[in-house]
Amino acid sequence: MFEAVLRDAPAPPPTLLSEEERMFQLSAYQFAVKEIGPSVREMDREGAFKEDLLKQFFAQGYMAISIPEAYGGAGGSFLMSVLAIEEFARVDASASVIIDVQNTLVSNALLRWGNDAQKSHFLPRLARDTAGAYALSEPNSGSDAFSLETRVREEDGDYILNGRKLWITNAKEAGLFIVFATLNRELGYRGITAFLVERNAPGFSVGKKEDKLGIRASSTCELLLENCCVPKANVLGEPGSGYKVAIETLNEGRIGIAAQMTGVARGALDHAIRYAQQRRQFGKALSEFQAIQFQLARLATEVEAARLMTHHAARLKDAGQPFLKEAAMAKYFCSQVAERVSSEALEVFGGYGFTKDYPAEKYFRDSKIGKIYEGTSFMQLQTIAKLILGSR
């Protein structure tokens, strides 16, 4: 049933997109349905993403949407990245996470903060065959992102990193990691520095893979840095500017999470609508009962609001306009909507929704992470409050 509903689900609803954007959105959804859809349940069950699928992501350009053509990318807008993330998440949130981290965090950080040599060396690889990961979180550094314990010292013209990172998305697949560490502890957050660490760097290793509730096919692992040697040429930005790299990149990453959660909500609603039209009780389809009609109408309204908030924040970013408040609002609202819509969609399925034979429970599990990673809902509310109160 899962694959059949995906094939028959309606195309993305019309929004204020250019013809190029609309066609890109539709092609992303069709690709996700055809290529990702048949493997969703297997990947979720096994907790692993198929290597062949990742190769297809590269071949089709989804890992380099916003990388300029001069570096082998598609040269697309930030909104186009958001559209692909959203449409992939309608089919599988794990697949969406992979292209989200690549486009909104890793490539984005390199484009903004990398020097010419770094861009020339790393961006073509990110476009061609190298997945990236963003390594900020640590065992004692979650929402308090800058209380980092990973340390750096200079030695023979290189930097030596020692520490442990946790909950690093794409770690199993990645060949390039943006690692944040403290170069000068006395300076506090102003001593934090961002490093471009390759997977084969001496002293670097990927540790335990987490066994998660949702987005199970997306790898989440610890990183171990044991006298990890990184050349000075691999400092991203300037020494001590790591906090700026992290803040500015995560501000944009919030929009990617909003797109993920919008896609999860939309996918859950697609399945609920189809099931309500097919399931018969008391001699008629569930969709003929006014209570179900009103429930689905309310959920559809919330999904559309989430979509518009996300697209608006992405457009502001593309236009070079301030978007911090809108990004935080979108991330907060869309994660709330995803959890609520996927929960009620599961209830439309009744007892079947509680089983793994139907897709409703997976959308529900996948929705929960939206309130947690790249800034919890409380952190988004704190950001929003500061901005609205400060503007009066």
Please report the DSSP string for 260-309 in residue order.
HHHHHHHHHHHHHHHHHHH-EETTEEGGGSHHHHHHHHHHHHHHHHHHHH
236 compared with 15, residue with greater pLDDT? 236
Clarify whether residues 203 and 307 are in a common domain: no
Nearest to 307 by CA among 249, 264, 364, 363: 264
Q: How confident is the model at residue 11 (pLDDT cuts 50, 70, 90)?
A: low
Question: Do 183 and 110 reside in the same domain of the chain?
Answer: no
CATH number of 275's domain: 1.20.140.10
pTM comes to 0.94
Q: Is 374 designated active site?
A: yes
Give the domain-ending residue among 100, 130, 160: 130
pLDDT band at 304 (very low <50, low <70, confident <90, very high): very high
Q: Roughly how many angstroms between the first and final C-alpha of the chain, as a whole number?
A: 52
Of the ranges 7-11, 28-32, 225-229, 357-361, which one carries the lowest mean pLDDT score?
7-11
**Residues 6, 38 within the same domain:** yes
* 82-136 tens-digit pLDDT: 999 999 999 999 999 999 999 999 999 999 999 999 999 999 999 999 999 999 9
Q: What number is the average pLDDT over the span 144-149?
A: 82
Same domain flag for 234 and 292: no
Identify the H or E element spanning 26: helix 19-31
The C-alpha atoms of residue 358 and residue 278 are separated, in whole angstroms, by 14
pLDDT over threshold 80, residue 336: yes
265-282 core/surface letters (b: 16 or more CB in 10 A; e: else): bbbbbbbbbbbbeeeeee
- Give yes or no: residues 257 and 220 share one domain: no
- What's the confidence (pLDDT) of residue 321? 97
CA 315 to chain centre: 18
Give the model's pLDDT for residue 143. 77
234 and 255 inside one domain: no
pLDDT at 352: 97
Output the pLDDT for position 188: 82
Amino acid 147: pLDDT: 84
Does residue 14 carry a pLDDT above 80? no
| Same domain flag for 248 and 386 | yes
Q: How many whole angstroms separate alpha carbon 63 and alpha carbon 115?
A: 21
**Nearest-10 crossing angle of helices 93-100, 78-91:** 160
Which residues touch 354 (CB under 8 Å, ≥6 apart)?
346, 361
Listed residues 204, 223, 240: the one ending a domain: 240
Distance CA 336, CA 344 (A): 12
208, 345: one domain: no
The last residue of one of the domains, among 240, 256, 291, is 240
pLDDT at 52: 98
Element (H, E) at 167: strand 158-169
Domain with 75 in it: what CATH number?
1.10.540.10
Mean pLDDT of 203-219: 98
CATH number at residue 192: 2.40.110.10
Q: Are the beta carbons of 150 and 162 closer than 8 angstroms?
A: yes
Give the Cα separation of 49 and 226 in Å (integer).
28
Span 15-40, average pLDDT: 94
Pick the catalytic residue from 87, 138, 302, 374.
Answer: 374
**Tokens 């409703």 sit at which residue?**
360
Whether 57 and 120 share a structural domain: yes
Total domains present in the chain: 3
What is the reported pLDDT for 184? 84
According to DSSP, the residues that pair with 160 across neighbouring strands are: 153, 229
**Predicted local confidence at residue 189, as pLDDT:** 85
Same domain, 381 and 250: yes
Strand 220-231 and strand 158-169: the pairing is antiparallel
**pLDDT beyond 80 at 76:** yes
* 272 in the same domain as 253: yes
Q: Is there a single domain that holds both residue 180 and residue 203? A: yes
How many helices (H) and strands (E) would you count in the chain? 13, 10
How far is 244 from 217, CA to CA, in rounded Å? 31
208 φ/ψ angles, rounded to the nearest 5 degrees:
-60, 135
Alpha carbon distance 236, 230 (integer Å): 11
Residues near 361 by beta carbon (within 8 Å), at least 6 away in sequence: 346, 353, 354, 355
Residue 198 has pLDDT above 90, yes or no: yes
**What's the domain range around 114?**
2-130
Q: Is the pLDDT of residue 2 over 60?
A: no
Q: What is the DSSP letter of 353?
A: G
Side-chain-side CA neighbours of residue 191 (13 Å) = 14
For residue 65, give Cα distances in angstroms to 57, 84, 200. 10, 9, 26
